Amino acid sequence: MSIENKVVLITGASSGLGEATARHLAERGAKLALAARRQDKLETIAEDLRAKGTEVEVIQTDVTDRAQVQTMVDRTVERFGRMDVIVNNAGLMAIAPMDEAKVDEWDKMIDINIKGVLYGIASALPVFRKQQSGHFINLSSVAGIKVFAPGGTVYSGTKYAVRAITDGLRAEVGGNIRTTSIEPGAVDSELKYGSSHEESSEAVQQFYQQAIPSDSVARAIAYAIEQPDEVDINEIVLRPTSQEF
Ligand code: NDP
């Protein structure tokens, strides 16, 4: 029942929930591979963690690129000799009414939030099969349980997809591979700045005034990881106590 020495790969580790999870798991003795596009941010976090004794690999990755995601997983296994957990966390929330037809942003959300997670699964699953152990932790949302509309229709669609894919994966790979879908409400991070539609962005900032700190999600992720191998925490829903949606 331990996190110590587990090798954990986190996508979207340069800010928000991913960064908080990296910092929390480092304190619990994990070895970390940190991935995102902003290498400078990852390096700063890594330097900080290394100074406290954590083994950290930084892997600049765009999760919308299948080859880069494969390299990300390969480099993790090369560095640490194994991979115990992949946290498919990278994400984008671009809120706008459907009438605005922000198709470019729909594409981006589908590419990052759905295809990025699938690429992570495709690359990690053979590693987990070979090891006969492994843990997928995928970031869905309360918007993956209830449609966040108007405005969040496509974002919700991507988070419903993550939840569906995670549960289907559980049914297919169970035995010795664990799957967890994390479904947070409003959590303080950079996510709230992802909307280009001004009115929606203002509404999001307003909604996020109740947000809880990102280490609340880090603790939920740690809880799923620290269970004994035969215990698979499949879903965790957490939101600010004051949040209705
Ligand atoms: P942030 O915006 O703070 O973090 C998003 C992370 O994803 C960043 O590290 C960013 O790094 C990374 N990222 C974005 N696009 C790509 C890409 N193409 N390739 C690689 N990395 C990418 O938001 P959060 O921390 O809040 O979000 C993390 C996850 O949690 C998301 O999936 C989000 O949907 C989910 N979530 C968040 C909630 C919240 O209220 N905050 C609630 C429910 C779910 P970089 O730009 O350096 O690539």
DSSP 88-131: E---------GGG--HHHHHHHIIIIIIHHHHHHHHHHHHHHHH
**CATH number (domain holding residue 88):** 3.40.50.720
The domain containing residue 188 runs over which residues? 7-226
Residue 189 CA, ligand 1 centroid: distance in Å:
8
In three-state secondary structure terms, 238 is: strand
| Predicted pLDDT at 155 | 98
Angle CA 104–108–109, to nearest 5: 120
Q: How many domains does the chain have?
A: 1
Residue 42 falls inside a structural domain: yes
Structure tokens at 123: 């690359």
Q: Check residue 139 and give its pLDDT.
A: 98
Q: Which atom of ligand 1 is nearest to the CA of 182?
A: 44
**pTM value surpassing 0.95:** yes
Q: What pLDDT score was predicted for residue 174? A: 84
pLDDT number for residue 35: 99
- The answer to whether residue 223 is catalytic is no
Q: Identify which of 17, 60, 72, 136 to mutate to test ligand 1's pocket (most ligand atoms within 8 A of the CB).
A: 17
- Asked if the structure places residue 233 within a domain, the reply is no
CB atoms within 10 A of CB 98: 12
Supply the residue whose CA is at minimum distance from atom 18 of ligand 1.
62
Choosing from 9, 10, 11, 14 the residue with most ligand 1 atoms within 8 A of its CB, the one to mutate for a pocket test is 14
In-domain check, residue 234: no
Domain assignment of residue 241, yes or no: no
Q: Of residues 119, 155, 160, 193, which has the active-site annotation?
A: 155
129 in a structural domain = yes
- Look at residue 239 and tell me if it is in a domain: no
On whether residue 127 sits in a domain, the answer given is yes
- Distance (angstroms) between ligand 1 centre and the Cα of 89 equals 6
Which protein residue's CA is at the shortest distance from atom 6 of ligand 1?
12
Between the CA of 207 and the centroid of ligand 1 the distance, in Å, is: 18
**pLDDT at residue 1, as a whole number:** 53
* Below-50 pLDDT ranges, the chain: none
Pocket test for ligand 1, best of 21, 88, 89 (most atoms within 8 A of CB): 89
Residue 232 forms part of a structural domain? no
Residue type, 128: F
DSSP state of 9: E
